[in-house]
Amino acid sequence: MITLNINKKIYNVDADPDMPLLWVLRDVIGLVGTKYGCGVAQCGACTVHVNGQAMRSCVTKASFAQGKKVVTIEGLSAQNDHPLQKAWLELDVSQCGYCQAGQIMSAAVLLKEKKEPTDQDISDAMAGNICRCGTYLRIRDAIHLAAKQAPKK
C-alpha cells in the first residue's frame, strides 16, 4: 500500500512502489490529465509538481512521491484560473492539446522561480516539453502574459 498526497487529497493505493507516478495517476487513481508521451523523460507531457518541483512522473517512482505533496494539472488551481491557464485560453494556445498540461505544469514552476522570465529563461525552462503541433510561439507569449497578469504579492 502506498499513501500519496495528490492535489491535497490522500490516496491509499494498492500499487507496486516501483510503478512510475504517471501510471499510478492514470491507471490506478484515474487522474488522466497527466499524459504519457515517451516514458523516458524526453517529452515533458507527464510533468507534475512534487514538493513544488517540476518532475517527469514517467520516471518518478510512486515510492519517491510518498510523503510528498504532489500536484497535477487537475489540482493546479481551484477553478481553472491559474494565470497560466487563463493566459492559455486568452491566447488560444492549444492545437491538439495533448502536451499542454505538461507545458503548463513546467511553466508554473518557472513562474514561481522567476516572476518576470526573459525569453532565454523560457527557452531554458521549457526545453524539455515537446509540442508536436508547434504551438511554441503561443506558449512563450502565454507565459509572458501570465507573468504580467499574475497577482503581485
Partner 1 sequence: MEKNTQNRRAFLKTSALLGGGLMIHFSGVAKLALEDKSDGLKALDQWTEINGYIKITKDNIIKIFNPNPEFGQNVMTSLPMIIAEELDVDWKKVVVEMGPHDSVKLGPQFTGGSNSVRMYWKPLREAGAAARRMLIEAAAKSWSVPVEEITTKTGILYHEKSKRNGKYGDFASLAVGIPVPKELKLKSVKDFNVIRTSQKNVEGTKIVSGKPLFGLDYKHEGMLIAMIHHPPGFGMKLKSFDASQSLKMPGIKDVFTLKLYEDGFAQGGFDTRTFNDLLVVVGKTTWDVMNARKKLVVEWASAGDVKDTMAGRGENREVIVPGELENTDAQYKKMLEYAQKPAQQLRKDGDPDAAFKNAAKIIERTYTAPFLAHNCMEPMNFFAHVTDEKALFVGPLQAPGWTEPTLAKILKLPPDKIEIQMTRMGGGFGRRAYGHYLVEAGLISKRAKAPIKLVYSREDDTTYGIYRPMYTATYRAALDENKNLIAFHVKGGGIPEHAIHPNRFPAGAIDNYLAEGWQIPSNITIGAFRAPRSNFNAAAEQSFLDELAEAMGKDPIDFRLELLRKAKVKPVGKNNEYDADRYAGVLNLVKEKSGWAGASDKKFSRGVAAYFCHNSYAAHVVDMILKDGEPYVERVFSAIDCGIVINPDAASNMVQGAVVDGIGNALYGGLTHKDGVVEQNNFHKYRIIRMHEAPKKVEVHFIKNDLDPTGLGEPPFPPVFGAVANALYKASGQRHYQQPFTLEAIKKQAV
Binding site for partner 1 (CB under 8 A): 16, 19-20, 23, 26-28, 30-40, 42-43, 45, 72-74, 80, 84-85, 88-89, 92-101, 104, 119, 122-124, 126-140
> Alpha-carbon distance 3 to 95, whole Å?
36
For 41, 45, 61, 128, the CA distances from 55, given in Å and listed in that order, are 9, 10, 11, 11
**Nearest approach, Cβ of 65 to partner 1 (angstroms)?**
14
Bridge partners (DSSP) listed for residue 69 = 5
Q: What's the min distance (Å) between Cβ of 56 and partner 1?
A: 12
Residue in the block written with cell 520516471: 59
Q: Which is nearer to partner 1, 116 or 124 (CB)?
A: 124
Q: b/e per residue, 15-28, with b = 16+ CB within 10 A?
A: beeebbbbbbbbeb
- Cell readout for 77 is 488551481
Report, in Å, the least distance between residue 42 CB and partner 1: 4
CB 87, min distance to partner 1, A: 9
Q: Which is nearer to partner 1, 120 or 152 (CB)?
A: 120
Cell representation of residue 129: 516539453
Q: Give the ranges where 37-82 is alpha helix by DSSP (H).
A: 62-65
**CB of residue 94 to partner 1, shortest distance in Å:** 5
